[in-house]
A = this chain, B = another copy of it.
Amino acid sequence: MSFDVTILGCGSASPTSYRNPSAQVIQVQDRSILIDCGEGTQVQIRKNKIRMQKISHILISHLHGDHYFGLVGLLSTFHLLGRDKELHIYAPSDLKEIIYTQLKTSKTYLKYPLHFHSLNFSEKSLIFDDKKIEIYSFPMRHSIEVCGFLVQEKIHPRKINRKAIDAFEVPTYKINSIKDGADFTTVDRQEVLNSKLTFDPNPSFSYAYCSDTSYFPALCDSILNASVLYHEATFGKELEKLAKQTKHSTAEQAALIAKEAKVGKLIIGHYSARYTDLNPLLCEAKEVFENTFLASDGMCFSLE
């Protein structure tokens, strides 16, 4: 199973003709999660050939328009296309009224169950948990309440050593417990350690999303050792004062967070519309954290 991220928009407050506002789709373990939903996200979903109705969870970091103005349109389109599968939204509590007021005004009565879950802005919280993945929200610092998100795979089952399984005549009904790490006793009472029956599992990956936030080292605890970190870099360090005033980060500060949190890879985005050439931001970040990449609209990458 793959763990893919598609960046649908990496612009900031003012959408431009070349950069969409924040939105990205995480496809992990056959689950499809949308993080943020700026204006135009539904068209970006189509352009990037993401299967729209597969999206089961939408996480909205905060209620600045460039992170959610596309949501009500997407919800309406789900409805118009005949969706009946439930949808979960994790967002600041005020969003519920905003959405329902607009649906009510247009006399839209959704054909699918919509579940709102309010984010907790005071501490790291497990917001979703199933057999294969966990999603956490954690508070960051911005001009209004905001959460970052961490999507992580659970530890995969151990991989079966087919030859050993046959040699020790392990019955089929035991396989699942062995994948989970159990030892095995043969019919003639021989104890076989799990390590003889299995190989180490595939590694599990995790993806952290941090946008929007001022430089906030306290968030490192929440994303420690993440495989990939997407962190906003609205400005370059020449505008550090402006970053501080507007409660955003510079590319250098994003890299400092990546370094302190010991992540595997850093993707920077949420660039101010003033930057057309992004290389200065990339260079600035790379000086602190070499394994840095620039996000771009339509960029798709796998965690591996």
Q: For the complex, what is the distance from the CA of A164 to the CA of B194, rounded to whole Å?
A: 109
Contact of A13 with B80 in the complex, beta carbons under 8 Å = yes
Contact of A106 with B15 in the complex, beta carbons under 8 Å = no
Interface residues on A, range: 35 or more
Shortest Cβ distance from A108 into B: residue = B65
Shortest Cβ distance from A62 into B: residue = B106
Contacts of A163 in B (CB 8 A): none
- Residue A131 at the chain B interface, CB threshold 8 Å: no
Contacts of A76 in B (CB 8 A): 13, 65, 69
Shortest Cβ distance from A65 into B: residue = B76
Q: For the complex, what is the distance from the CA of A294 to the CA of B102, rounded to whole Å?
A: 31
Contact of B65 with A69 in the complex, beta carbons under 8 Å = no
Contact of A43 among B17, B95, B102 (CB under 8 A): B17
Contact of B42 with A15 in the complex, beta carbons under 8 Å = yes
Contacts of A92 in B (CB 8 A): 105
Contact of A17 with B105 in the complex, beta carbons under 8 Å = no
Contact of A101 with B106 in the complex, beta carbons under 8 Å = no
- Residue A1 at the chain B interface, CB threshold 8 Å: no
Q: Which of A69, A92, A107 gathers the greatest number of chain B CB atoms within 10 Å?
A: A69
- Residue A143 at the chain B interface, CB threshold 8 Å: yes
- Residue A81 at the chain B interface, CB threshold 8 Å: yes
Contacts of A95 in B (CB 8 A): 105
Contact of A70 among B17, B39, B106 (CB under 8 A): B39
A residues 6-31 near B (Cβ < 8 Å) are: 13-17, 20
- Residue A72 at the chain B interface, CB threshold 8 Å: yes
Contact of B15 with A43 in the complex, beta carbons under 8 Å = yes
Contacts of A98 in B (CB 8 A): 101-102, 105
- Residue A97 at the chain B interface, CB threshold 8 Å: yes
- The distance from the CB of A10 to the nearest CB of chain B, in whole angstroms, is 15
Q: For the complex, what is the distance from the CA of A46 to the CA of B273, rounded to whole Å?
A: 13
Contacts of A106 in B (CB 8 A): 63-65, 144
- The distance from the CB of A101 to the nearest CB of chain B, in whole angstroms, is 6
- Residue A94 at the chain B interface, CB threshold 8 Å: yes
Contacts of A101 in B (CB 8 A): 97-98, 101
Ranked 5 nearest A-B pairs via Cβ: A39-B73, A17-B46, A69-B73, A63-B105, A40-B40
Given contacts A65-B73, A69-B73, 12 further A-B contacts (CB under 8 A): A13-B76, A13-B77, A13-B80, A14-B77, A15-B77, A17-B46, A39-B73, A66-B73, A69-B72, A95-B105, A98-B105, A106-B144
* Sample of 12 A–B contacts (CB below 8 Å): A20-B43, A40-B40, A63-B106, A65-B76, A65-B102, A65-B106, A69-B72, A69-B76, A94-B105, A97-B101, A98-B105, A107-B144
